[in-house]
Structure 1
Amino acid sequence: MTSTAAGGATTETDLPLSEQAYRNLRDQLIMLEIRPGDAINDSVLAANLGIGRTPVREALKRLESDHLVVSYPRRGTFATRVDFTELADISEIRQLLEPLAARRAARNASAPMRARFRDLAADIARSEPGNSDQPDLMRFDIKVHRQIYAAAGNAHLEDVLIRYDNLATRIWCLVLDKIPSVSGHITEHVKLLQAIADGDGELSAELALEHVTNFEKTIRTAL
């Protein structure tokens, strides 16, 4: 299963070091590669990323505002714990904003973006996600959502949705071993991506809401 990054020709290496560190650490925290409650050593992270401590410290400040890390005086910085009681609040926000983003994407997506969504939908449709590794499927899910948010054409909406999708994904990853497969969650994207590519805003919003609602139901079943 392949995917194309949204947003033109900019690559990770074109970004400032602090932004590279932020994205790298953010995705490790989302996918629980840095486990909830783990202590975070900026010197070790800097060495692992091959950059200085200053960009890492700047990244950690942003990650704290994202509620992915927390700092305590004289104790240090830690990955935040996953709180299942936040699921309802996170889902409520996503159920309002994900349809808005999908509707806007259907209206505002450029021609290259629409072609990208059609290709992505076809890629999912002809693949066999049930044979893929669960964490890989979750990474793919994140990429699809971020492309839709980017196509919506509202930087503030994109920023908020990325933040709450990240928190939702952490909850999902914590119960992955209790879920038979997330392949159905991935295949739901086919109709959504096609609707956005076709410019059907209302159908896109409806499918986005269904997708987010199904996510919450699956998590609650696992819990």
Structure 2
Amino acid sequence: MPTAPQIAGSADAYRKIKDGILALRYQPGQKLSEAKLAAELKVGRSPVRSALARLERDGWVVVLPQSGTFVRDFSAGEIAAMCELRLLLESHAARVAAQRVSGDELATLRGQFETLKARGVENHFEQFLALDDQFHGMVYRAADNPLITRILLNLRDQIHWVRVANAALPGRVEASLNEMDHVLDAMERRDAEAAAQAMQLHIGNIAFSYDVAPVEGHKKAASAG
């Protein structure tokens, strides 16, 4: 039986390696070496081995016999399916949130948007990602639908990975900020339908940036925009 320190060490290694995958420090397709990870994390190879086994079970790495352990990439089909789910749920959430979100929360978020735009979003990638998380979190909370929130939170890490990978594409940071700004503007005007359409465009453009087939809702929103 593993001891308590061994379990804690494995959990810590798991979290740090997974954080590296989510932040793209470990790129899709990159080979992960037990020895290098152990040296990087300043732990023994045993907790790293346990962490990699758990990451394989959770679908974040793949183990190829005779080749090694590699960071898993999401297929175009998986990204398309995730975008379809987000489009359906988050456009509805934006519609409801536009009518429910507090003025104070909108004002706080608006201030952060304007600050980031003034600084130049392309030069503040980490701040953009934090604002992105805060923006979508606000929409989830204001929509106040526990089932939608639970579904999206269950996919939180996968959604976060797609957001980070998408933002790393040329031109997508500034474009994403502008798209979210349109959603925020509609919410400030309490225009529920405009907020839903702006959210559809935002998520649909993520699908387009990966060259995956856009969903029907995005086609309708694009033609209306």
Q: TM-score, normalised by structure 1?
A: 0.63
Q: Runs of 5+ in structure 1 lacking a partner?
A: 1-15
- 1:2-44 deviation per Cα after TM superposition (whole angstroms, max 9, x unaligned): xxxxxxxxxxxxxx87776555433432343212222324554
- The letter for the 1-side match of 2:32 is I
> Structure 1's 108 and 20: CA in aligned 2 closer, same or farther, altered over 3 A?
farther
Q: Which residue in 2 is equivalent to 1:163?
A: 157
1:116 correspondence with 2:131: no
Q: Which has the larger radius of gyration?
A: 2
> Structure 1's 117 and 201: CA in aligned 2 closer, same or farther, altered over 3 A?
farther
* TM-aligned CA deviation for residue 213 of structure 1: 1.0
**2:211 is paired with a residue of what secondary structure?**
helix
* TM-aligned CA deviation for residue 211 of structure 1: 0.4
Contact kept in structure 2, 1:32 and 1:173, CA below 8 Å:
no
Contact kept in structure 1, 2:116 and 2:128, CA below 8 Å:
no
Percent of matched pairs sharing the same residue: 28
Q: For 1:158 and 1:140, how far apart are their aligned partners in 2?
A: 22
1:208 correspondence with 2:194: no
- The letter for the 2-side match of 1:70 is V
Q: For 1:96 and 1:65, how far apart are their aligned partners in 2?
A: 28
User: What is the correspondence of 1:87-166 to structure 2 with a 5 Å cutoff?
Assistant: 87-103=79-95, 105-106=97-98, 113-129=105-121, 132-133=122-123, 137=125, 139-151=126-138, 152-153=140-141, 154=146, 156-166=150-160
- The letter for the 1-side match of 2:199 is A
* TM-aligned CA deviation for residue 66 of structure 1: 5.2
> Structure 1's 40 and 206: CA in aligned 2 closer, same or farther, altered over 3 A?
same
Q: For 1:21 and 1:108, how far apart are their aligned partners in 2?
A: 40
Moved over 6 A (4+): 16-20, 52-55
State the number of aligned residues. 198
Contact kept in structure 2, 1:69 and 1:78, CA below 8 Å:
yes
Contact kept in structure 1, 2:167 and 2:176, CA below 8 Å:
no
Q: For 2:62 and 2:41, how far apart are their aligned partners in 1?
A: 20
Partner residue of 1:220 out of 190, 203, 211 = 211
> Structure 1's 28 and 95: CA in aligned 2 closer, same or farther, altered over 3 A?
same
Partner residue of 2:181 out of 190, 206, 212 = 190
**1:220 is paired with a residue of what secondary structure?**
coil
- Aligned-residue RMSD, C-alpha: 4.0
Q: Which residue in 2 is equivalent to 1:30?
A: 22
Q: Runs of 5+ in structure 2 lacking a partner?
A: 1-7, 213-225
Q: For 2:71 and 2:192, how far apart are their aligned partners in 1?
A: 38
- The letter for the 1-side match of 2:166 is W
